[in-house]
Structure 1
Amino acid sequence: MKSRDALIRLKRFEVDEKRQTVEDIEAMIGDFRQMAADLDRQIAIEQERAGVTDVNHYAYPTFAKAAVERRDNLINSARDLEEKLKQAQERYAEAEEELKRVAMLEERDRGRSDSESDRSSLEHPGQHRVAS
């Protein structure tokens, strides 16, 4: 039973670890999107200030060009992280299923052990089992 308890603790740890990974990736995606939105606002302000919205125009602000590039990189990074998020969610779901399976085995074994002790006490009513 002790090895089964250790296995359950290990599986719980793995589930917690995978859940934390999913949460971290979700937070990163949210941060990247927020930064991209902030850059969008800065780009719009800079374009309005300069009076030029055409990126290829010679008078287009250098800051706006750099901000557009950073924003695009953030959007691409968020897209890449979305794929990693799907994979992390799948691993998390698999770990949860594995934990449920091990917990069900433990419950079944515990039920089997309880029924054996009940049967033993019925067969030998004068004897009591000592808990160890």
Structure 2
Amino acid sequence: MKNRQGLIKLKRFHVDEKRRQVTQIETMLADFDRMAEELDNQIRQEQERVGIDDVSHFAYPTFARAAAQRRDNIVNSANELKDQLSKAQDELKDAIAELKKVELMQEREIKRERDALEAIEQDNMDEIAGRYAHRN
């Protein structure tokens, strides 16, 4: 029983660790989305400021071109993180399933022990009742 409790503790730790990973990746994705949006706004403002929004124009602002490159890099990183998020979510589901399995095993073991104790108690009660019946 103690061994199983240690296993449950370990499985809960794994579930908590996977949850932290998922949360961390989700936070990073939100940050990347926010940064990409800010860069989009900066690009638009720069294009409006100079009056050129054609990227192939010879006078297209260098700042806007660099900001677009940074935004594209962030978007690519976000896409890679989405793959990591999907994998982390799958690992979390697996960890939760493993925890549930071990918890169910422990519940069944506890029930078996309880049933065994109840059977012993019932046998003792039957024995006492039998002795009482023989006396009368």
TM-score (ref. length: structure 2): 0.89
Distance 1:87 1:26 in 2: 12
Alpha-carbon separation, structure 2, partners of 1:111 and 1:17 = 30
Name 1:105's counterpart in structure 2: 105
* TM-aligned CA deviation for residue 62 of structure 1: 1.1
Q: Which amino acid aligns with 1:62?
A: T
Per-residue deviation at 1:17?
A: 0.5
TM-align CA RMSD: 1.4
The corresponding residue for 1:12 is: 12
**1: CA distance between counterparts of 2:80 and 2:30?**
13
> What does residue 60 of structure 2 align with?
60
Equivalenced residues, count:
127
The letter for the 2-side match of 1:82 is: K
Task: Give the superposition deviation at 1:73.
Answer: 0.6
Matched residues in 2 for 1:121 and 1:53: separation?
87
Q: Which runs of 4+ in 1 moved over 2 A?
A: 124-127
How far apart, CA to CA, are the structure 2 residues paired with 1:71 and 1:87? 24
In the aligned structure 2, how far is the partner of 1:34 from the partner of 1:79?
14
Counterparts of 1:120 and 1:62 in 2: how far apart (Å)? 86
Aligned to 1:48: 48
Partner of 2:123: 123
1:130 is matched with none
Alignment TM-score, normalising by the size of structure 1: 0.92
Residue segments in structure 1 that go unaligned for 5+ positions in a row: 128-132
Structure 2: runs of 5+ lacking an equivalent: 129-136
Q: Distance in 2 between matches of 1:122 and 1:100?
A: 32
